[in-house]
Amino acid sequence: MKEYQTILTERKGKVGLVTFNRPKSFNALNPVLLTELMDALAEFDSQVEIGAMVITGNEKAFAAGADITNMVDASPEEMRQSPFIPAFDLIRNIKKPVIAAVSGYCLGGGHELAMSCDLIIASESAVFGQPEITLGVIPGAGATQRLTHTVGKIIAMEMILNNRTISAMEALSFNLINHVYPIEDYLTKALTLAQEIADRAPLAVKAAKEMVNQSHEVHLTAGLKEERNTFYNLFSTQDQKEGMKAFLEKRTPTWKGS
Ligand code: DAK
């Protein structure tokens, strides 16, 4: 992998791990970090040996939002040119599952980044929030929509209108995250989950990710039609034959990704 300035990357078995590395600013997301993140995820997505990815920060902060120093004097046009939205669109378009492993502050654009991942594992110290209102703006990278779809209108309103932060256990009860673990375990648990998914039939995993994402984006009738077509198409893969034969022969399947 390449050398980056603001992130660290590592391969752990079949999992690509990206760690934000701006600890002095609580991993505030600046243009360099977002560009490097896009590059690293695209690289992992293209590697056949990798089946899933994990994005993480450190114990104190996943990311405390976009870097305010880069935005304070910006014009609307300059904000339109920012790599924020391309980065988020890229995560949506990454074919393999991406897990956010969150500890400490997960705020503003950091929270929106976590919500654009496919699964979220948190430590007990994680704090989720959308503090943009305190800066005189609103969320701009998905929270008014994704957060509201997930937690419902009244909780989203309180978080977005009045900077209500929520703890890891609250986030779990609001279906915002998958699991909460002690701080010493959350990253290992996220990597284990990623490895388990990476060991599954690769084409079916990608198809499943795409279909679940579409459920938030297209009308139900169109989504059901697309799901059925994708299901039928998987019967043209060797992995479908192998998976079903292995079940009947009471053995573990060997996936080919074809
Ligand atoms: N940006 C820049 N620096 C930050 C930062 C941030 N978001 N968060 C923390 N820091 C820096 C602090 O300035 C401080 O720097 P020094 O003074 O040491 O140089 C250092 O990190 C430590 O922070 P504190 O001294 O404040 O530490 P505390 O423990 O007291 O507080 C905190 C931690 C995370 C609660 C606090 O730092 C905080 O409230 N941070 C700001 C959180 C925030 O408002 N986040 C939302 C940012 S707005 C876009 C779409 C979306 C967005 C952008 C563009 N487009 C469509 C283009 C997203 C916008 C946002 O996320």
Taken in order of first residue, the domains within the chain and their CATH numbers are 7-203 (3.90.226.10)
Beta strands in 35-172 (DSSP E): 52-56, 61-63, 98-102, 105-107, 119-123, 127-129, 166-167
Share of the chain above pLDDT 90, in %: 90
Residue 74 CB less than 6 A away from ligand 1: no
Average pLDDT, the chain: 95
Atom of ligand 1 at shortest range from CA of 69: 2
Asked if 112 is an active-site residue, the reply is yes
pTM of the predicted protein model: 0.95
Query: Sorting pLDDT into bands at 50, 70 and 90, what band is 56?
Result: very high
Predicted pLDDT at 214: 92
Asked if 74 is an active-site residue, the reply is no
Across-strand partners of 123? 181
Host H or E run for residue 228: helix 220-233
Q: How far apart are CA 130 and CA 140, in angstroms?
A: 10
What are the distances in angstroms from CA 60 to CA 57, 64, 222? 8, 10, 42
Q: Closest Cα to residue 121, out of 53, 190, 58, 63?
A: 190
CA–centroid distance, residue 131 to ligand 1 (Å) = 9
What would the pLDDT profile of 212-230 be if each residue is shown by its tens digit? 999 988 898 998 999 999 9
Residue 17 scores a pLDDT above 90 = yes
Asked if 66 is an active-site residue, the reply is yes
The phi and psi torsions of 245 (rounded to 5 degrees) equal: -60, -45
pLDDT (mean) for 247-258: 96
Residue 88 scores a pLDDT above 90 = no
